[in-house]
């Protein structure tokens, strides 16, 4: 019996607010939660900026227990209204500006969404938790023990590792090197401070690079996959020796499920895939898989498309996650191998052209030229 099946047998239904639930990881989490806990109420809040896509939720939006709200996490009156009228007990906070390249070109949006937006959510949830989750004269039966604020963050807050450095742990000092990672570090500190100062039951997770379905085309794996299908060059930054730890998004969602149910309030959990790979080696693996899975490519073998481009500023050399804590305390380990997860992901992109082709807009093409020219 899986963890989710065990939980379904022994738990009271939850009422979740999922911010950024139309984005990549957020929408995969919504799919996971609706499948595992069909009796729970799920409210998705998303501003539908360039990487938010209502089509990511097509297969779950018809559910009676799911509500979609188009809105901004910086809109305090809206947040207050949703928390109150939906009687939310769990916030799963995914909403974020999340691409390093875009943070270099325009950091303002990253500070607003990742720092100010997280503060707005924390402050609204704190007041809601005090009103609804704690025993008071007006609410004598209040029990805030199941309330949770899950703050989903990144391993990039820890900075860069040398080739022989041990992987990041939950006690690794923060050393962000881009406006994106700095803004996420700031939001992590806020979440921690709200637990230490107010007792708000926050939990922080720091994950390695995710991949899987519904991933916006600007990110490395979908970018390479789509460019191979289009016969376009495969831009690799610098010498391609930068190392990342890759985590299949389905495994990540399973880990977050466990953290919400079993994680310690005030705690931090690193979530990694145990798959450290150099970028250039990953691109070669993607090419090999696409050569196999897509027999009618315009350029074969697709390795011919690999092109090295000027490295981006502040490009961290290596990330690696030590996920010992979540394994030891909560019993979670990733189930998917890198090759198995990549194969599933590429097959999804091959069969969902109707999802990704509309995303290659002129605005996206202009951004692409600006970054990779």
Contacts of 370 (CB under 8 A, 6+ apart): 105
DSSP 154-169: EGGGG----TTSPPB-
What is the C-alpha to C-alpha distance for residues 255 and 72, in angstroms, rounded to an integer? 26
Task: Respond yes or no: is residue 322 known to be catalytic.
Answer: no
Neighbours of 247 (CB within 10 A): 28
Q: State the burial class of residue 299 (Cβ atoms within 10 Å of its Cβ: 0-12, 13-18, 19+).
A: middle
Catalytic residue among 89, 97, 155, 336: 155
What is the C-alpha to C-alpha distance for residues 217 and 229, in angstroms, rounded to an integer? 12
What is the C-alpha to C-alpha distance for residues 140 and 260, in angstroms, rounded to an integer? 25
Contacts of 128 (CB under 8 A, 6+ apart): 80, 83, 84, 88
What is the C-alpha to C-alpha distance for residues 41 and 23, in angstroms, rounded to an integer? 19
Catalytic residue among 147, 158, 180, 349: 180
What is the C-alpha to C-alpha distance for residues 40 and 85, in angstroms, rounded to an integer? 15
Task: Respond yes or no: is residue 329 known to be catalytic.
Answer: no
For residue 371, the cross-strand partners are: none
Query: Scanning the structure block, which residue is given the tokens 């899950």?
Result: 150
What is the C-alpha to C-alpha distance for residues 327 and 347, in angstroms, rounded to an integer? 30
Catalytic residue among 40, 156, 188, 251: 156
Task: Respond yes or no: is residue 155 known to be catalytic.
Answer: yes
Contacts of 142 (CB under 8 A, 6+ apart): 132, 133, 134, 135, 136
Q: State the burial class of residue 348 (Cβ atoms within 10 Å of its Cβ: 0-12, 13-18, 19+).
A: middle
Contacts of 292 (CB under 8 A, 6+ apart): none
Nearest to 127 by CA among 80, 77, 90, 87: 80
Q: Please confirm whether the linkage preceding 301 is cis (ω < 30° from 0).
A: yes
List active site positions. Answer: 155-156, 180
């Amino acid at each position: 019996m899986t963890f989710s099946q065990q939980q379904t047998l022994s738990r009271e239904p939850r009422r979740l607010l999922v911010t950024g639930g139309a984005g990549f990881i957020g929408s995969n989490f919504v799919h996971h939660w609706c499948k595992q806990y069909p009796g729970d109420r799920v409210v998705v809040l998303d501003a539908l900026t360039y990487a938010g896509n209502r089509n990511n939720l097509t297969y779950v939006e018809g559910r009676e227990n799911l509500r979609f709200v188009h809105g901004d996490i910086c809109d305090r009156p809206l947040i207050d209204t949703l928390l109150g009228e939906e009687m939310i007990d769990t916030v799963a906070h995914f909403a974020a500006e999340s691409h390093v390249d875009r943070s270099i070109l325009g950091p303002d949006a990253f500070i607003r969404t990742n720092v100010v937006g997280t503060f707005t959510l924390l402050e609204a949830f704190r007041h809601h938790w005090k009103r609804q989750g704690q025993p008071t004269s007006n609410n004598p039966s209040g029990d805030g023990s199941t309330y949770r604020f899950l703050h989903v963050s990144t391993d990039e807050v820890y900075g860069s590792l040398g080739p022989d450095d041990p992987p990041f742990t939950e006690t690794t000092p923060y050393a962000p090197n881009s406006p994106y990672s700095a803004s996420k570090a700031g939001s992590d500190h806020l979440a921690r401070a709200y637990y230490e100062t107010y007792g708000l039951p926050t939990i922080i997770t720091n994950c390695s690079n995710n991949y899987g379905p519904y991933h916006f085309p600007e990110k490395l794996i979908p970018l390479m996959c789509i460019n191979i299908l289009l016969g376009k060059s495969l831009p690799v930054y610098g010498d391609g020796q930068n190392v990342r730890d890759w985590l299949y998004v389905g495994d990540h969602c399973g880990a977050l499920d466990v953290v919400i149910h079993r994680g310690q309030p005030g705690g931090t959990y690193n979530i990694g895939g145990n798959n450290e790979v150099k970028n250039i080696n990953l691109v070669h693996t993607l090419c090999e898989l696409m050569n196999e899975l897509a027999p009618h490519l315009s350029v074969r073998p697709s390795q011919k498309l690999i092109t090295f481009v000027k490295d981006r500023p502040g490009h961290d050399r290596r990330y690696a996650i030590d996920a010992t804590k979540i394994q030891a305390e909560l019993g979670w380990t990733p189930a998917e191998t890198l090759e198995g997860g990549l194969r599933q992901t590429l097959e999804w992109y091959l069969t969902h052209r109707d999802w990704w082709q509309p995303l290659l807009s002129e605005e996206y093409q202009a951004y692409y030229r600006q970054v990779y020219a």
